[in-house]
Structure formats: C-alpha cells, structure tokens
C-alpha cells in the first residue's frame, strides 16, 4: 500500500480565510492510505517546500498530495520538491482549493469546506494509483521563426540572430516596418520614427543569420517544442527579386493609379510599387488586383522597360519549408474599424474625419502632403482641429471594453504637432480620462496643455457636416455643459485591435487568444512573453496594446526566452503522453482521426493493424483516449483507472 502525505496550503487568507485548513488536514489524515497530513500558511514558500521534503523523509512518503492553488501555477514547483527529496516527480497530485473552491464559494463557507474535503479525497484516490514516469529527451533544431516584421519582429529577430542563432522572419506585407515606419515622430521625445526604425530594417536585411520572407505568410506548422516544421507561402510578386536591382524604372512608367492604402487614400500609387522609399527589401511587387496585364491581359509596360528583365507575369505563389525549434509571434495590431461602428461620427462618410494613423501620414515629411497639415477634402489648412479620444476603446457598446493605452499619448503628440505647424490653429481634445503612465509622458501632456491645446473632458456624441464645417457635439463634464465646436478637421484616436487574421494564426500555431482576440500570455505578470504552448513566444502589440518602448522591451524579452531555449542541446519532453495497450487495440484508428497533432501512426504486425503513438509529437491532450472504444488508448498520468477512481471518490 502506498504511503500518501497530504499538504493543505492556506495561501495566506486566499484559502485560509474561507476554509478551515487544519480541519481539512485532520480529516484527510483519516483517508485510507494517508499516513501523514498537515497544513501550512504558504506551501510554495521556502519553508513550505522544506516541510514537504522533510515529511517525505520522516514518514517515508511515496505519494504526495498538495491541496493548494492551480497546478498551472505551482505543479512544477512541487514536482521539484519531490525530486529533491528523492521521489519520482510524477508521484505528485495537486488539487486546487483556491480557484475551484475558496475564491468562488467565499459566501458559503460550510459548503466550501465540504467541497474542499471532496476535492482532497479525489486527489488521494488518484495519488494511490500514480506510477513513476520518466520524461523523454529530444534534440533541438537551433533556429527560430519570427512571424511579423514590425518593430517587435525586427527587434526580436536581431536579438536572436546576434546571439548566433539563425532566424527565419516572415512578414506578410511587401516591406518590413509595421506601423512604426508610417509614424512621423514618436512620443514623448519626438524623435523621427523612420530615422530610428529604418536602420534596424536595413540591419535585418543585411544580417547573415536572418532569412527574410516578405509578402509571405505562415501556412502550416507541424511538430512541437524544439522541432517545428513550418510551411511558408510566398505570395507571387511577379518580380524576380534575384534579378531586380530596385532601379525604379517600372514604377515610374506604370500607367495605373490606385489609392495608396498606406496613406489612407490621401494619395495614389502605381500597380507595381514600393510601399515607401525606405522599404526593405527595396524591390517592388505587382499588385495583381490592379495590374492591367494581370487583370485584362494588356499593358506589359513594366516588362518592356525593366532593364534587368525581372518582371515575370507568370510567377505563382510558392511554398517553402523551414525547420525551427522556437517561434516568436509579433503580428502587431490593426486600428479599430470605426467606419463600421460609429454611425454618430458618420461611418467614414466625411472626408475630413480621419484616424490618428492617417494624421501621422499627413504630418509626415515623406507622406502624401510632404508634411503639410491640410484637409483631405479641399487641401486647405484647418483653423480648428478637434481630437476625439477613445474611439473604439472603452466602449462596450461598440464591443471594445479595454483601454488602447497609446491613443492618449499619440493624440497629445498630434495636438502638439498642429500647434507647432499651425500656431494660429485652435486645437481641442475631447477625452474621458488621460492616461500618461510612461516615463516622461505626464510631463509631455502638461507641456502640450501649456502650448494652448484645450482639453475638454467629455465624450463626443455626434459629428456631422454643415457646409464646409464639421459640427462636433461634445460635452465639458467638468463644467457640466454641452459643447459644440465647428471644426475643419477631426482626428479620431482610434483604438487598437488584434491584427487581421490573428485568430486564424492562433489556430495554426495552437495558441490561445484572450477575450478581445489578442494572443494570451502564459501568466499576466510572471510569464508575459510566453504562451501556454511551450516554445512559442509573444512580442509586441499582438499580445495587447503597447507603445514602442514596451514593444521593444517585450521583443527583447521574447528573444532572450527563445535563445535560452535554443541554446540547449536537448530538452525534456513531458512523459504525460498517450500509449496504446496493444492487447486491446482493434486497429479501428478512430484515435488517428481525432488527434489534432498527427501523432498517431499505424503499425502492422503479423498482419494485425494497430495504432502507435509518436511520443515526440503527442501533446497529451487526451482526445484519442475518449475516441478509443475498447479502451486501449491510455494517457500516462491520466489513466482510465485513475480517472474512474477520482470520479468514485468525488461521488462518495
């Protein structure tokens, strides 16, 4: 008979404030198989761990039950305690008295106490049936994939490559750079955004250890921690980049003019184009939706003029495979699609109501107006400019509850820029609260107020056109008055949402997203750059709204984590994998159908077909065990016998 020890943790008052932990320990001591039970304030602390280790030795325990918080948080901690005390770490069973009991039943202490005891009884029942398990080891592919080439992806790629590890960087647009290259200046120091980001883009292109795919997307990811096989779709550019010299003859001669999406339709571009002058790579792509040759079969101008013979109208998408050991996701953000949600602001029908990002293009010296702030409708300089905060943020009605974090500051920057370029202009900012949490941010906001920008506390209710003015109906809640301003230009501080396609990418990678669609970090405080899937890390605004300083810090952190992993020769893989009881397997292969990781293969022995689990691919999800009718499929650490014993204990 195994000798079980039960350790009940108070978690300070988190558990101890609701449950009577000493009583739980006394009751647990009477369960069959339990030879020792005790309680302690903080089981995870150093003295708590010592208490367990000593009890193991003193009472010759060979199974340990810890009744505390979530195994997500501390299972590893306690497994290590077992290992240090000379026990196989998989002889540990945890039960969660915090999230599953004290936190949710604080108002019903008696029932909570009874439930807690049930939970412990369950854990003991399972512990009695635990067997020692031994993790496997696999070699690691020492290469890293970075998805997304904004400032986050750029920084992460450079950091990993500088550590001597090969990087594959995949960006879906024709150029690296993300949003940052589109910005004019950056708060709060007002340094030129392109001047600080384009050298980094160039560094990526030159780095011998970075393989860059632009205009490409990750299509499939197979394998797991340490060994992924990634399929990348290189979209057809219709320009052979091995031949193209980037001379620019083609885009000067192309007869097509389409609105330039990067400039928010403030200007046009040809069908064969370089997104912006400092683009990396500095070679063009043909936009197949608008090219006359590709849509109508007549034109061919660029091919005729190209001195390098680089134009190839027959080019097709191509697929490329890359092997990597870790993945950093850095797909950034998009702006909230306010044109679909804000009818009260005109659904985007008024040309002089623009987003903050469009404003960046307006003030940008390399933008469509050469840096002159003018109205898109008539090219006139505005005399009254109104900024509106929190558009698509902090607005449950429009489905976005969270604060986008960057818009208070970028609006302050924009207001300053208007005052700087057009000192006579009147500038009003409608806000609800000002959030200036960063270093030097509050000071910047105060400075902007001193420059004469008028901040009005109130959300704007309606914007409509009257003559050539935009009538903005807002409020000054500090005075308790409605306020109406006739503006020439209105700039909406549009919120941050996950990049288009993030949900799909999450599925491809097997990582999760939060309620707003941003990628979910493993722990909001302690593991902010990891995901729940080992070997996949997060950087930048794809994890949540972020400014550039935070983005870059997180990118470097993700790079450090990836490098830490990739510098190992081998890694342990969890022994909690499925295995087939060959005697029971009928070879129906239902398991193969349901396995999301393609981890089940067929073996034929003596003419009999049976399933076999490839342990290096199995993630221990357990789907197969449910699909297997004869009960041949078992998950180590969650065997059928163990689970039934738990259910029985709970039903007692």
Partner 1 sequence: MKLAYYPGCSLKGTAREYDLSTRLVARHLGLELVEIPDWNCCGATAAHSTSHFLAVALPARVLALAEDMGLDILSPCAACYQRLRAAQEELKRDPELKRQVEGALGRTFEGRVRVFSLLEALAQLGEEALAAQVVRPLKGMQVACYYGCLLVRPPLTSCDDPEQPQLMEKILAPTKVDTLDWGGKNECCGASLIFGAREVALNLIKNILHAAAQVRAHALVTACPLCHANLDLRQKEVNRFFGTNFAIPVFYLSQLLGIAMGLNPRDLGLGSHFVDPQRALRMVGS
Partner 2 sequence: MNENFWSEVNRAAGQKITHCYQCGKCTAGCPVAFAMDYKPHQILRLLQLGRGEELLSSRALWVCSSCQTCTTRCPCHIDLARLIDTLRFFSRQAFPQVTRHGMPLFNEVFLRSVKRYGRVYELGLTLQFNLKERKVWRDLDLGHFMLSRRKLRLLPEPVENRKEVAQIFSAEKEEPR
Residues that bind partner 1 (CB under 8 A): 342-344, 346-347, 349, 462, 464-467, 471
Element (H, E) at 544: none
CA distance 105 to 114: 11
Given 100, 292, 447, 473, the residue binding ligand SF4 (CB under 6 A): 292
CA distance 647 to 638: 12
Q: How far is the CB of 484 from partner 2 (least distance, A)?
A: 9
> What phi, psi does 291 have (nearest 5°)?
-65, 130
Q: How far is the CB of 538 from ligand FAD (least distance, A)?
A: 10
* 628 near ligand SF4 (CB under 6 A): no
Nearest to 649 by CA among 128, 123, 129, 130: 123
Nearest to 233 by CA among 213, 205, 204: 213
Q: CA 544, 547, 548: angle at the middle one, nearest 5?
A: 120
User: In this chain, which stretch among 296-304, 326-334, 368-376, 530-538 interacts with ligand SF4, using CB under 6 A?
Assistant: 296-304
CA distance 65 to 78: 10
Nearest to 265 by CA among 369, 132, 381: 369
What sign does the dihedral 407-408-413-414 (CA atoms) show? positive
Given 224, 331, 404, 556, the residue binding ligand SF4 (CB under 6 A): 404
* 398 near partner 2 (CB under 8 A): yes
Distance from the Cα of residue 65 to its chain's centroid: 35
Question: Considering beta carbons, is residue 233 or 400 the nearer one to partner 1?
Answer: 400
Query: What, of ligand SF4, partner 1, ligand FAD, none, does residue 32 touch, CB below 5 to 8 Å by kind?
Result: none
User: In this chain, which stretch among 13-21, 264-272, 519-527, 555-563 interacts with ligand SF4, using CB under 6 A?
Assistant: 264-272
Convert residues 420-459 into a mask of x (bound to partner 2 by CB under 8 A) and - (unbound): ------------x------------------------xxx
Q: What is the dihedral of CA 177, 180, 184, 186, to 10 degrees?
A: -140
* 555 near ligand SF4 (CB under 6 A): no
CA distance 532 to 509: 11
SS3 515: coil
* 546 near ligand FAD (CB under 6 A): yes
CA distance 508 to 502: 10
On the question of a cis peptide bond just before residue 281, with omega within 30 degrees of 0, the verdict is yes
Given 475, 536, 624, 628, the residue binding partner 2 (CB under 8 A): 475
The two three-digit tokens of residue 434, written as one number: 């000002």
* 521 near ligand FAD (CB under 6 A): no
CA distance 345 to 347: 6
* 536 near ligand FAD (CB under 6 A): no
The two three-digit tokens of residue 236, written as one number: 């057809």
Distance from the Cα of residue 630 to its chain's centroid: 40
* 548 near ligand FAD (CB under 6 A): yes
DSSP calls for 220-263: EEEEETTEEEEEEEE---SB-TTT-----HHHHH----EE-GGG
* 505 near ligand FAD (CB under 6 A): yes
Convert residues 608-627 into a mask of x (bound to ligand SF4 by CB under 6 A) and - (unbound): -----x----xxxxxxx---
Given 293, 355, 543, 551, the residue binding ligand SF4 (CB under 6 A): 293
On the question of a cis peptide bond just before residue 328, with omega within 30 degrees of 0, the verdict is no
Query: What, of partner 1, partner 2, ligand FAD, none, does residue 349 touch, CB below 5 to 8 Å by kind?
Result: partner 1
* 330 near ligand FAD (CB under 6 A): yes
Given 74, 394, 419, 435, the residue binding partner 2 (CB under 8 A): 394
**Do the strands 462-466 and 454-457 form a parallel or antiparallel pair, or are they unpaired?**
unpaired
* Half-sphere exposure of residue 90: CA atoms within 13 angstroms, side-chain side: 14
* 400 near ligand FAD (CB under 6 A): no
Nearest to 455 by CA among 411, 403, 494, 404: 411
The two three-digit tokens of residue 358, written as one number: 């469009």
Query: What, of partner 1, ligand SF4, partner 2, none, does residue 475 touch, CB below 5 to 8 Å by kind?
Result: partner 2
Query: What, of partner 2, ligand FAD, ligand SF4, none, does residue 618 touch, CB below 5 to 8 Å by kind?
Result: ligand SF4
Question: Considering beta carbons, is residue 299 or 489 the nearer one to ligand SF4?
Answer: 299
* Binding-site size, ligand SF4 (CB under 6 A): 41
* 341 near ligand SF4 (CB under 6 A): no
Distances (CA, A) of 374 to 103, 265, 353, 463: 56, 14, 12, 19
Given 39, 62, 287, 360, the residue binding ligand FAD (CB under 6 A): 360
Question: Considering beta carbons, is residue 462 or 532 the nearer one to partner 2?
Answer: 462
Query: What, of ligand SF4, partner 2, partner 1, none, does residue 638 touch, CB below 5 to 8 Å by kind?
Result: none
Segment 359-398, which members bind ligand SF4 (CB under 6 A)?
Answer: 389-390, 393-394
* 499 near ligand FAD (CB under 6 A): yes
> What phi, psi does 321 have (nearest 5°)?
-110, 140
CA distance 48 to 54: 10
Query: What, of ligand FAD, partner 1, ligand SF4, none, does residue 620 touch, CB below 5 to 8 Å by kind?
Result: ligand SF4
SS (HEC) of 259-272: ECHHHCCCCEECCE
Given 396, 450, 569, 605, the residue binding partner 2 (CB under 8 A): 396
Given 63, 413, 610, 636, the residue binding ligand FAD (CB under 6 A): 413
Q: How far is the CB of 433 from partner 2 (least distance, A)?
A: 8
The two three-digit tokens of residue 448, written as one number: 């902007």
**Do the strands 143-147 and 166-170 form a parallel or antiparallel pair, or are they unpaired?**
parallel
* 68 near ligand FAD (CB under 6 A): no
Q: How far is the CB of 520 from ligand FAD (least distance, A)?
A: 16
CA distance 217 to 488: 41
Q: How far is the CB of 495 from partner 2 (least distance, A)?
A: 12
The two three-digit tokens of residue 641, written as one number: 């016998």
Query: What is the binding site for ligand SF4 (CB under 6 A)?
Result: 254, 256, 270-272, 286, 291-293, 299-302, 389-390, 393-394, 403-405, 407-408, 433, 435, 493, 495, 577-578, 594-595, 597, 599-600, 613, 618-624
Query: What is the binding site for partner 2 (CB under 8 A)?
Result: 344, 390, 394-398, 432, 457-462, 473-477, 480-483
Query: What is the binding site for ligand FAD (CB under 6 A)?
Result: 147-153, 170-173, 178-180, 183, 186-187, 217, 330-333, 356-357, 360, 406, 410, 413, 499, 501, 505, 540-541, 546-549, 551
């Amino acid at each position: 008979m195994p000798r079980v020890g039960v350790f009940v943790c108070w978690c300070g008052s988190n558990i101890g404030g609701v449950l009577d932990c000493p009583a739980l320990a006394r009751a647990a001591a009477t369960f069959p198989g339990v030879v020792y039970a005790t309680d302690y304030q903080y089981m995870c602390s150093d003295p708590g761990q010592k208490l367990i280790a000593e009890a193991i030795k003193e009472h010759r325990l060979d199974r340990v039950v810890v009744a505390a918080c979530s195994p997500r948080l501390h299972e590893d901690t306690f497994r290590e305690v077992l290992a240090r005390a000379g026990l196989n770490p998989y002889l540990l069973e945890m039960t969660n008295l915090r999230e599953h009991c004290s936190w949710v039943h604080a108002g019903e202490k008696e029932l909570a106490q009874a439930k807690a005891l049930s939970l412990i009884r369950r854990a003991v029942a399972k512990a009695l049936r635990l067997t020692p398990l031994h993790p496997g080891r696999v070699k690691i592919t020492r290469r890293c994939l970075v998805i997304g080439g904004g400032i986050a992806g750029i920084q992460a790629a450079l950091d990993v490559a500088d550590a001597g590890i090969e990087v594959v960087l995949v960006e879906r647009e024709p150029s690296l750079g993300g949003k940052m290259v589109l910005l004019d200046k950056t708060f709060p120091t007002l340094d030129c955004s392109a001047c600080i980001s384009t050298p980094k883009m160039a560094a990526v292109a030159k780095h011998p250890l970075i393989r860059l795919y632009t205009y490409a997307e990750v299509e499939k990811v197979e394998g797991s921690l340490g060994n992924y096989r990634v399929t990348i779709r290189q979209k057809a550019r219709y320009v052979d980049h091995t031949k193209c010299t980037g001379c620019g003859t083609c885009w000067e001669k192309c007869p097509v003019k389409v609105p330039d999406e990067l400039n928010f339709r403030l200007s046009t571009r040809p069908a064969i184009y370089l997104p912006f002058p400092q683009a990396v790579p500095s070679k063009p792509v043909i936009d197949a939706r608008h090219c006359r040759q590709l849509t109508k079969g007549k034109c061919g101008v660029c091919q005729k003029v190209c001195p390098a013979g680089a134009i190839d109208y027959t080019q097709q998408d191509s697929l490329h495979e890359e092997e990597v050991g870790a993945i950093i996701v850095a797909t950034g953000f998009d702006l909230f699609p306010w044109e679909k949600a804000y009818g009260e602001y005109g659904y985007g029908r008024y040309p002089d109501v623009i987003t903050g990002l469009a404003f960046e293009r307006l003030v940008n010296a390399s933008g469509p107006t050469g840096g002159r702030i003018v109205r898109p409708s008539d090219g006139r300089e505005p005399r009254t400019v109104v900024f509106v905060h929190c558009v698509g943020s902090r607005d449950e009605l429009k489905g976005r509850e969270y604060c986008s974090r960057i818009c208070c500051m970028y609006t302050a920057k924009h207001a300053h820029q208007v005052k700087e370029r057009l000192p006579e202009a009147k500038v009003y900012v409608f806000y609800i609260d000002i959030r200036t949490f960063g270093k030097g941010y509050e000071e910047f906001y105060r400075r902007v107020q001193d420059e004469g920008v008028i901040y009005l506390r109130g959300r704007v209710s309606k914007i409509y056109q009257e003559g050539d003015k935009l009538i903005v109906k807002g409020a000054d809640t500090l005075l308790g008055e409605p306020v109406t301003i006739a503006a020439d230009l209105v700039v909406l501080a549009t919120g941050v949402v996950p990049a288009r396609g993030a949900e799909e990418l999450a599925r491809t990678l097997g990582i999760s997203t939060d309620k707003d669609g941003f990628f979910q970090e493993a722990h909001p405080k302690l593991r902010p750059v990891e995901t729940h899937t080992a070997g996949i890390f997060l950087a930048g605004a794809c994890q949540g709204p972020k400014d550039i300083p935070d983005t870059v810090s997180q990118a470097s952190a993700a790079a450090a984590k990836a490098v830490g992993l990739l510098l190992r020769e081998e890694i342990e893989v969890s022994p909690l994998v499925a295995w087939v009881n060959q005697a029971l397997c009928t070879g129906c292969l239902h398991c193969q159908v349901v396995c999301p990781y393609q981890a089940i293969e067929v073996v034929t022995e003596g003419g009999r077909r049976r399933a076999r689990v490839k342990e290096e691919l199995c993630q221990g999800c357990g789907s197969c065990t449910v699909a297997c009718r004869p009960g041949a499929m078992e998950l180590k650490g969650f065997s059928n016998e163990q689970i039934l014993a738990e259910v029985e204990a709970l039903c007692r």
